Structure 1
Amino acid sequence: MGTTVRQATRATVQLARGVAMTLGTYLFVTVLLIATMGTLFVVGAWMLPEAVLLVRRIAGARRRQVAGWSGREIAEAYRPLDGRPFRERFVAAVRDPGTFRDLRWMLAQYAYGLLGLLAVPLWVVGLPVDGVWCGLSRRRALVLPLIGRLADLDARWSTALLKPSPKALLTERVEELAETRAGVIAAHEAELRRIERDLHDGTQARLVALSMRIGLAKRAYDRDGGGDPEVARRLLAQAQDQAEEALTELRHVVRGIHPPILTDRGLAGAVQALAAGSGLQVALDVEELATGPRAPAAVEAAAYFLVAEALTNAARHSGSDSAEVRLARVPHGLTVCVRDEGKGGAEEAAGTGLLGLRRRIAALDGTANVSSPAGGPTVVAAELPYTW
């Protein structure tokens, strides 16, 4: 029976928290009504967005309570109100479907929010008086579980009222896709500018110099009096060197678009090559990817460039001579983690290239996080979803 009592106690705590929130909403509704009446007379219109934000916080607290009891998260879908001019905030607060769903829950809370008070008589019936009660075990077995069912019922009602509508979720998804699409376009334009700059400043300049050297060599051979073979030979040797340098830079540009080694050796082999050429002592954990089906090309490229950027930053800025790289399959995708024990303090806005990689990963519906407190360690982690 100890388990039954513990479960009933936990359910009672959950119901008590719901009752406390209900009592708190009684006070808040007064503020909300004042804001609404003030809005009607224009005088208190400025209060409405703040009141809606407070409603959202209360609803969010209730969502967390229910998730703690049921083990299932309740999604949120709101239009942003912070950081906007007052007029836009007011319109967003009034037109947001989430506002009306929260208010509907708050009004319904008046009807069922005090449901948890029923736990008191159930405890009275389920526990003995002065330690003596006929059929105590049977009463506990029948009465105390009802408290848990009350908590379940309360959680189901709150979930049904607080979860966003399919339309709200679709709207949020469309906005998210629009944002990631804009990020992809920006990253694509930046990549094109980088390729153009590399070709213009490197490969193109060397090809122009190569053409000039060949032209000078041709003139040296065609000069009156039989020409000067030694000068022509020296110019051709310089032209050959410049051709090789141009090819090297062209390969560098190609690797920046899509590394051939990634196609030839797969992600595991490509990351091993990155580690070998990084100048760091890198502890690798990529064996899991050496066998089995490969990830889509876009996912492999995003993971490769993330590792490349993180190792480059670690070698240049961390002050550490070692790093750790771990890639692993998960049920719905691929995880990447690069860690170094350097001085930390890495910032995406400082031109490290991580911002562009975050955009690339977001375009694949993935997530990327950078943790780099002062003193280290620096951890760059990403999750790239796809179906194996």
Structure 2
Amino acid sequence: MWKTVRRAAQATGHLLLAAAMAFGMWIFICVLLITAIGTLAVVGAWLLPETLLLIRRIAGAKRQLTASWTGVRIPEAYQPLTGTVRERFRTAVRDPGTLTDFRWMVAYYLYGALLFVALPLWPVGLVVDGVWSGLLRREPVVLPLIEKVADLEADWSTALLKPSPKARLTRRVEELAATRADAIAAHGAELRRIERDLHDGAQANLVALSLRIGLAKRAYDRDPDTARKLLDEAQDQAEQALTELRNVVRGIHPPILTDRGLVGAVRALAAGSGLQVAIDDGGMDEGVRAPAAVEAAAYFVVAESLTNAAKYSGSPRADVRLVRTKRGLRVRVSDVAGGGGADETSGSGLLGMRRRVAALDGTVDVSSPVGGPTVIEVELPCVW
């Protein structure tokens, strides 16, 4: 009984907010009329994009209100209103999201008005129903009815505010274009890094190696001791060049991933991080492995996160969690007791991480409030 009463009270609160918003929408008609007159008169055409921005905010508030009741987020799919007045006007008219919002507004004027009119009758209905329920010793009917009305209102709002397939496709194309641009930028930066590492490291060592071997050949007959010393130095130089080449290859695709798999590679990272790292592998030691590109991205996410935690967080501990989901791989790294306040604009580490993950159509969520902790959560889609 009390559960029904509590749920009915929540439904009443939701419907009260919905009715209040409907009342505000009727007041908003004045703005719509001024915008329509100004647009028809041409001189006020600049009002249309501004009014649509207001409508987007109102629709966004309604999406949040509906999601708070249903627990399901309603996505948005709008084209940005930027550029000159003419460009903003053209985008506002052609955006599929504009039609979706206007369709919802027209419908909301109707069923929102019904809510606003019906609300004053609810207390009377509750009293009458409560009396009859007490006399007949049964559960009040109005309480479940209020919840059903709230569900119906939320279902209508969800159906009307949900982006059209055309809007979702347009938004997806824009996201893929941005992701492709980021992937190209990340690829270019990676190529420049490899070129720089080869030029400054392995290539310099190989040039020095060639010079030492040449000097050793010249000194071999007349000064064997000097030649032997030069050859010893050349051997050291060759080993250093091999180390540089291994580092470059490790930056492209760590060999440890091939040898030990993702869990083993992450454990090796944890052992060399200088932190006390707790690893929850979610049973990923067994079963099918993720694709090589996904494993490499997850490896570099953990490597970058642990490096940042060791350098900046001040925390002696970190947690790493790997979770196999239905849609892919989730990686979560937390510095546990760090100071927080991570700034993505101050360095290239987190930006590089985002670009690497975006290239695989994944997502990165960074939470780093002042006082900590810093939590980095990455979703990498893949098929197991």
**Partner in structure 2 of residue 290 of structure 1:** 285
Structure 2: distance between partners of 1:342 and 1:7: 40
- Specify whether residues 134 and 306 from structure 1 end up closer, same or farther in structure 2 by C-alpha distance, changes over 3 A only: closer
Equivalences, count: 382
Structure 2: distance between partners of 1:6 and 1:375: 37
Gaps of 5+ in 2: none
Q: Deviations over 1:87-140 (max 9, x none)?
A: 332222222111122112112222221222335546534533895778655693
**Partner in structure 2 of residue 95 of structure 1:** 94
**Partner in structure 2 of residue 182 of structure 1:** 181
Identity of aligned residues (%): 65
**Partner in structure 1 of residue 13 of structure 2:** 13
Structure 2: distance between partners of 1:110 and 1:84: 32
Deviation at 1:34, TM superposition (A): 0.4
Task: Verify the 8 A CA contact 2:276 2:318 in the aligned structure 1.
Answer: yes
In the superposition, the TM-score normalised over structure 1's length comes to 0.90
Task: Verify the 8 A CA contact 1:119 1:147 in the aligned structure 2.
Answer: no
**Partner in structure 2 of residue 41 of structure 1:** 41
**Partner in structure 1 of residue 235 of structure 2:** 240
Counterpart of 2:186, as a letter, is A
- Specify whether residues 230 and 139 from structure 1 end up closer, same or farther in structure 2 by C-alpha distance, changes over 3 A only: closer
**Partner in structure 2 of residue 75 of structure 1:** 75
Structure 1: distance between partners of 2:315 and 2:123: 61
**Partner in structure 2 of residue 110 of structure 1:** 109
Task: Verify the 8 A CA contact 1:281 1:321 in the aligned structure 2.
Answer: yes
Structure 2: distance between partners of 1:168 and 1:216: 70
Structure 1: distance between partners of 2:134 and 2:332: 62
The answer to whether structure 1 residue 336 and structure 2 residue 335 are counterparts is no
Structure 2: distance between partners of 1:344 and 1:368: 17
**Partner in structure 2 of residue 351 of structure 1:** 347
- Specify whether residues 215 and 48 from structure 1 end up closer, same or farther in structure 2 by C-alpha distance, changes over 3 A only: same
The answer to whether structure 1 residue 378 and structure 2 residue 374 are counterparts is yes
Gaps of 5+ in 1: none
Task: Verify the 8 A CA contact 2:262 2:299 in the aligned structure 1.
Answer: yes
**Partner in structure 2 of residue 387 of structure 1:** 383
Structure 2: distance between partners of 1:4 and 1:372: 40
Deviation at 1:293, TM superposition (A): 2.0
Deviation at 1:345, TM superposition (A): 3.5
Counterpart of 1:216, as a letter, is L
- Specify whether residues 237 and 101 from structure 1 end up closer, same or farther in structure 2 by C-alpha distance, changes over 3 A only: same
Structure 2: distance between partners of 1:204 and 1:63: 58
Partner secondary structure for residue 227 of structure 2: helix
RMSD: 2.5
Structure 1: distance between partners of 2:138 and 2:313: 66
Structure 2: distance between partners of 1:290 and 1:126: 59
Deviation at 1:387, TM superposition (A): 3.3
Task: Verify the 8 A CA contact 2:133 2:139 in the aligned structure 1.
Answer: no
- Specify whether residues 8 and 377 from structure 1 end up closer, same or farther in structure 2 by C-alpha distance, changes over 3 A only: closer
- Specify whether residues 113 and 321 from structure 1 end up closer, same or farther in structure 2 by C-alpha distance, changes over 3 A only: closer
Task: Verify the 8 A CA contact 2:96 2:166 in the aligned structure 1.
Answer: no
Structure 2: distance between partners of 1:309 and 1:125: 62
**Partner in structure 2 of residue 217 of structure 1:** 216
- Specify whether residues 284 and 94 from structure 1 end up closer, same or farther in structure 2 by C-alpha distance, changes over 3 A only: same
**Partner in structure 2 of residue 369 of structure 1:** 365
Q: Deviations over 1:4-26 (max 9, x none)?
A: 55444443333322221111111
Q: Which moved more, 1:333-342 or 1:3-12?
A: 3-12
Q: Deviations over 1:24-64 (max 9, x none)?
A: 11111111210221122233333222211111111112222
- Specify whether residues 190 and 35 from structure 1 end up closer, same or farther in structure 2 by C-alpha distance, changes over 3 A only: same
Deviation at 1:263, TM superposition (A): 0.7
Partner secondary structure for residue 323 of structure 1: strand
Task: Verify the 8 A CA contact 1:344 1:377 in the aligned structure 2.
Answer: yes
**Partner in structure 1 of residue 148 of structure 2:** 149
Structure 2: distance between partners of 1:346 and 1:51: 37
